[in-house]
Amino acid sequence: MFKNIKSLFIVEEENAKVASKEQPKSNNKTQTAAPKMEAPVTTPTTAGPGQVTQEFSDILFKAMEQSNPVGFDYMEFKQSLQSLKKMSMDDATRYQSAFAMAQTMGATSEKLTQSAQQYLDVLKSEEQKFAQAVNNQRTKLIGNREGEIEKLEQNIQAKTEQIKRLNQEIEEHKKQVGQLQKEISEATVKVETTQSNFTASYTALAQQITTDIENMKQFLK
């Protein structure tokens, strides 16, 4: 029944086309294997457009199969439509012909529409289940990392401000160093000047006394 349901919808045909395009052409000629070159790993920045996949289509078909009741409903009507598709007729004639056959099975347009809506509800339920699973995966694989990024960004901001503050302190220290060097230079000149003045005064007095001592030794005998 599962395979029959799949055959009623165009999804399987689209997948077959995609598979045929992706299938490499066979080549009977013997070829020397070329050395493998590792392709650079690239990380996609955005998700591409969605594609119909066999995996998800099978999940949805199985859910529809499990909800298919005994008797004639939309699914059997869809089968009739698919059978009439082989005949040369427009959509209106095909739907009316399939409905005429459905009426012989006790179907009405209201029942067919209602059963088709039930299958849509089944698909909607699967969509909600999948959305919950995606949210769980998003929380597990993305949410935690986003939290880590937020913490790291906070650390970066704090350290950036700390670096800014340290740079300001460094500049202030440089100014203090310059001021101290200026004060040291001025103090050095002052001390050396004082020392020079003392030395000059000392030398002048010492020379006078030395001269007097020599004169006294010479003249006071």
Distance between CA 53 and CA 59 in Å, rounded? 10
- Range of 86-90, 107-111, 146-150, 191-195 with top mean pLDDT: 191-195
Residue 78 lies in a domain: no
* Residues whose CB is less than 8 angstroms from the CB of residue 107 and which lie 6 or more positions away in sequence, other chains included: 72, 73, 77, 99
Distance between CA 76 and CA 66 in Å, rounded? 15
The DSSP line for 134-148 is HHHHIIIIIIHHHHH
- Determine which of 2-11, 14-23, 64-73, 190-199 has the lowest per-residue pLDDT on average: 14-23
* Residues whose CB is less than 8 angstroms from the CB of residue 5 and which lie 6 or more positions away in sequence, other chains included: 61, 64, 65, 68, 75
Residue 98 lies in a domain: no
Within a 13 Å sphere around the CA of 67, how many CA atoms are in the beta-carbon half?
20
User: For position 10, what pLDDT does the model report?
Assistant: 61
Residue 121 lies in a domain: no
Higher pLDDT pick, 169 / 149: 169
Distance between CA 55 and CA 63 in Å, rounded? 13
Confirm whether pTM is higher than 0.75.
no
Distance between CA 171 and CA 151 in Å, rounded? 30
Residue 36 lies in a domain: no
For 221, the domain range is 128-221
Calculate mean pLDDT across residues 164-175: 96
Residue 23 confidence (pLDDT) above 70: no
Residue 100 lies in a domain: no
At 99-108, the pLDDT tens digits run 999 999 888 9
Q: For the chain, what is the domain count?
A: 1
Residue 33 lies in a domain: no
Calculate the CA dihedral of residues 57, 59, 60, 64 and round it to 10 degrees: 130
Amino acid letter at 100?
A
Residue 204 lies in a domain: yes
Residue 151 lies in a domain: yes
Question: To which residue do tokens 């409905």 refer?
Answer: 99
At 133-162, the pLDDT tens digits run 999 988 888 877 888 889 999 999 999 999
3-state secondary structure of 150: helix
The answer to whether the CB of 119 falls within 8 A of the CB of 67 is: yes
Helix 74-84 × helix 109-137 angle, to 10°: 100
